[in-house]
Amino acid sequence: MDTQTLIIGLAGVLFAAAPIVFAVLGETLSERAGVINLSMNGSIILSAMGGFAVAYKTDNIFLGFLTGMAIGAAVALIVAFASITLKQSQVAVGFVLTLVSRDLSYFLGNPFMGQPGPRLSSLSIPGLADIPFIGPLLFKHDLMTYFSFLFIFLAWAWIFRTRPGLMLQGIGERPAAAFVRGANVNRLRYFYTVLGGALIGLAGPTYSLSVKAGWNGTISGLDGIGWIALSITIFGGWNPLRAAFGAYLFALLQWLGLVLQPSLPGIPSQVLQVAPFPLMILTLLFVNIGNAEWVERTLAAMPEPTRRVTAKVLRALRASPPAALGVPFERD
Amino acid sequence: MLKNNRWINLAFQLAALLLAVIFTTLILLAAGAPPLEAYKNILMGAFGSLDNFANVLVAWVPLLLTTAGLLITFSAGLWNIGVEGQIMLGAIFTTWVMRLLQDTTMPPALILTLAILAGMVGGALWAMLAGALKTFGGVNEIFGGLGLNFVATALTLWLIFGPWKRPGVASMSGTVPFDDRLSLTVFTGLRLSPWALVIAVAAIVVVYLLLQGTYFGLRLKAVGRNARAAFLLGIPTWQYMMMSFALCGLFAGAAGAMQVVAVYHRLIPSISSGYGYLGLIVAMLVNYQALWAAPVALFYAALNIGSIQLPIVLKLDSSLSGVLQGMLVLFVVLVEGARQQLMKKS
């Protein structure tokens, strides 16, 4: 493979990862606040369909993106209402919403199946795009890909470098303490869940109007992406930078699967398409296994040099969820 | 004033049902479809003829089997989303044993029994994999289970397109169908097998008795309510969790086995047909109690079968049934939450 092909391939990876980055950042914000939005797999599909349908009808691509965000925010609002106000199980409501949103998009999207629709055009940044290697890699994309780069750093800076971000960490880790400090825990949780939902909803039209332009119902190839994004959120340890790294890693693996397919004729394409999922289990295993009790015991029994190296590797991979994730907050 | 009264609870549940129907009707109107026509079509599709009703029962069998299994994992406080893959592994193990034994001189009844048992073992092993990931790897059962579902799909496809492919060309239509003598007996002229019905009904009865009438069931529920407290009381917590995964896998595996020996007579790519996810929905709707599982599963199976005709007659997507099925649970959960909050205030 020559450099030219490699650069184009890697630029394609950044492009294909953009919607996953949005979804992962949205879920990270929501979970940082203490709310698991399990509806992601369905709301991405529904916002993809809704965004495409609106862009197709109005011929306005930006209305399509706005619709997607509104749909994602609306689904997240249901999750927030059911879990924060009604104190029902987040997992149960999120799971039902996943299925409902998916079926709803197949049902309502039926008339738009296979229609040729608008597509986001690419936007080279003058000057920067001409830099050798870096230009074609980073600066010859469409608007959404640039946004995905930008949002990673915005989300990171917001969570770790601002006062409200500190409060966000607080309501996810120690809601009672944050409350004493004057945070309106439940209102903030609503805010971040809906904001995160809007970001998740942005992922949908980024597929249907850009990365996988068009709406093709059950064969749109969007079913399953939300579940991947959920596990990337965990892999990312609720840190936007690490989560984005996970999203790019996933897109890279998918691309490698495509590139390598001709040299692996024995494996049917359907199998390669699901190859990321076992990898996802493995990464989750590595991320979580450091938390298991028996691992600590095994570590303690190891000879000193091995123990130190193993412990270091495990600690680097390890991630712990926000302490109050999924736990409703009641002041009493 | 709202008292915790049986009639008021019933009224709330009816309100949830009504809201779900209203919402689905609005969606139908938004799609420009005649709602009454659509509902009538679903009703006729499910109960319009003996044939149709028999098909509802054919769908009821795997749904009831998976729901029965899921009631056990839910009792232990586990979200066994991996049930979909457990159905597939059941189907794969059943197909495997059938392929091994089909050319032997063993009596068909024995081959079928062994194949179904193998399916149950397959489902249980796959469930225990999710359980082991949770217990020893700290991987939440939802993510482990989901990942394993996709792996099970890949495994099914690989078998159909690889080692078990039809002579000549492999295709999405599945493996070579088994000989007629190797399928469960059916009622004359129908696709419904009395044996499959018996197995499904027996399953839900067994689960009901297990959860309501045994010490094991009681301790399992203690683990589900508060694993830490149960552990301190001397219940071997992780063993109970693994056990509930294994038991659920047995039932899910049986569902997969039924799909092979009684419905499709071969392994097909979509062998689990989403019955695992639907079973989770049914279990939620019956509030994780075995008593109502059978009628609610029947209703959901009727919606599935009834909507098959929608694309042909009304040019609507059959996913409408999924919308209604999901809306129903969503509104039941929301209304129940509202009731609890209202009661707390009054």
Crossing angle of helices B275-285 and B293-306, in 10° steps, is 130
ipTM at complex level: 0.90
Note the pTM of the prediction, 2 decimals: 0.91
Q: Do residues B245 and B78 make contact, with C-beta atoms less than 8 angstroms apart?
A: yes
What is the domain range of residue B202?
A: 55-314
**How big is the A-B interface in CB pairs under 8 Å?**
144
pLDDT at A273: 67
Answer yes or no: do B327 and B306 share one domain. Answer: no
Contact: A88, B142; criterion CB under 8 Å: no
**What are the distances in angstroms from CA B36 to CA A103, A110, A324?**
20, 20, 46
Q: Which of B138, B284, B319 comes nearest A291 by C-beta?
A: B138
B50 is a domain residue? no
DSSP string over B20-59: HHHHHHHHHHHTT--HHHHHHHHHHHHHSSHHHHHHHHHH
Contact: B326, A103; criterion CB under 8 Å: yes
> Please, which residues have CB within 8 angstroms of residue A188's CB and are 6 or more apart in sequence?
A33, A167, A168, A171
pLDDT at B284: 92
Answer yes or no: do B23 and B115 share one domain. Answer: no
Q: Do residues A266 and B161 make contact, with C-beta atoms less than 8 angstroms apart?
A: no
Q: Which of B158, B280, B337 comes nearest A86 by C-beta?
A: B337
Q: Do residues B290 and B89 make contact, with C-beta atoms less than 8 angstroms apart?
A: no
**What is the rounded distance in angstroms from the CA atom of residue B286 to the CA atom of residue B228?**
27
Answer yes or no: do B110 and B197 share one domain. Answer: yes
Q: Say if residue B189 is exposed, middle or buried (CB neighbours under 10 Å; 0-12, 13-18, 19+).
A: exposed
**What is the rounded distance in angstroms from the CA atom of residue A299 to the CA atom of residue A301?**
5
Q: Does the CB of B231 have a partner CB in chain A at under 8 Å?
A: no
Contact: A88, B143; criterion CB under 8 Å: no
pLDDT at A1: 66
> Regarding the domain delimited by A3-261, which CATH topology (the fold level of the hierarchy) does it fall under?
ABC transporter involved in vitamin B12 uptake, BtuC (1.10.3470)
B41 is a domain residue? no
B250 is a domain residue? yes
Q: Rounded to a whole number, what is the distance in Å from the CA of A330 to chain B's nearest CA?
A: 13
Percent of chain B's residues with pLDDT above 90? 66
In this predicted structure, the answer to whether residue B20 has a pLDDT above a threshold of 80 is yes
B43 is a domain residue? no
Contact: B281, A99; criterion CB under 8 Å: yes
Q: B150 contacts in A (CB within 8 Å)?
A: 224, 274, 277-278
**What are the distances in angstroms from CA A169 to CA A34, A161, A165?**
9, 11, 6
Answer yes or no: do B205 and B282 share one domain. Answer: yes
pLDDT bracket for residue B4 (50, 70, 90): low
Q: Rounded to a whole number, what is the distance in Å from the CA of A4 to chain B's nearest CA?
A: 34
**What is the rounded distance in angstroms from the CA atom of residue A251 to the CA atom of residue B265?**
39
pLDDT bracket for residue B1 (50, 70, 90): very low
Answer yes or no: do B28 and B66 share one domain. Answer: no
**What is the rounded distance in angstroms from the CA atom of residue B55 to the CA atom of residue A17?**
43
Domain count, chain B: 2
User: Which one is predicted more confidently, A291 or B46?
Assistant: B46
Q: Say if residue A123 is exposed, middle or buried (CB neighbours under 10 Å; 0-12, 13-18, 19+).
A: middle
Q: Which of A82, A99, A294 comes nearest B334 by C-beta?
A: A82
Tokens of A257: 């699967």
In this predicted structure, the answer to whether residue A19 has a pLDDT above a threshold of 60 is yes
Residue B239: give its domain's CATH number: 1.10.3470
> Which of B80, B129, B146 should be substituted to probe chain A, the one whose Cβ sees the most A Cβ atoms within 10 Å?
B146
B38 is a domain residue? no
pLDDT at A292: 73
Q: B147 contacts in A (CB within 8 Å)?
A: 231, 277-278, 280-281, 284
In this predicted structure, the answer to whether residue A91 has a pLDDT above a threshold of 50 is yes
Ranking A281-290, B99-108, B269-278 by mean pLDDT, the lowest is: A281-290
B84 is a domain residue? yes
Q: A236 contacts in B (CB within 8 Å)?
A: none
pLDDT bracket for residue B129 (50, 70, 90): very high
Q: A320 contacts in B (CB within 8 Å)?
A: none
Q: Which of B27, B139, B341 comes nearest A285 by C-beta?
A: B139
Q: Rounded to a whole number, what is the distance in Å from the CA of B147 to chain A's nearest CA?
A: 5
DSSP string over B195-225: HHHHHHHHHHHHHHHHHHH-HHHHHHHHHHH
B46 is a domain residue? no
**What is the rounded distance in angstroms from the CA atom of residue A62 to the CA atom of residue A51?**
9
How many whole angstroms from its chain centre is CA B251? 9
Domain boundaries, chain A: 3-261
Percent of chain A's residues with pLDDT above 70? 95
**What is the rounded distance in angstroms from the CA atom of residue A31 to the CA atom of residue A168?**
10
> Which of B12, B42, B139, B333 should be substituted to probe chain A, the one whose Cβ sees the most A Cβ atoms within 10 Å?
B139
Answer yes or no: do B156 and B298 share one domain. Answer: yes
Answer yes or no: do B148 and B292 share one domain. Answer: yes
Contact: A231, B147; criterion CB under 8 Å: yes
pLDDT tens, position by position, B296-338: 999 999 999 999 989 888 888 889 999 999 999 999 999 999 9
Answer yes or no: do B276 and B204 share one domain. Answer: yes
Answer yes or no: do B101 and B241 share one domain. Answer: yes
Ranking A95-99, A269-273, B11-15 by mean pLDDT, the lowest is: A269-273
SS3 A126: coil
pLDDT tens, position by position, B70-100: 999 999 999 999 999 999 999 999 999 999 9
Q: B81 contacts in A (CB within 8 Å)?
A: 95
Q: Which of A81, A96, A227 comes nearest B326 by C-beta?
A: A96
Tokens of A263: 């040299």
pLDDT tens, position by position, A185-221: 999 999 999 999 999 999 999 999 999 999 998 888 8
Answer yes or no: do B345 and B218 share one domain. Answer: no
Answer yes or no: do B343 and B282 share one domain. Answer: no
pLDDT bracket for residue A332 (50, 70, 90): low
B154 is a domain residue? yes
Answer yes or no: do B13 and B106 share one domain. Answer: no
pLDDT tens, position by position, A29-69: 999 999 999 999 999 999 999 999 999 999 999 999 999 99
Q: Rounded to a whole number, what is the distance in Å from the CA of B201 to chain A's nearest CA?
A: 26
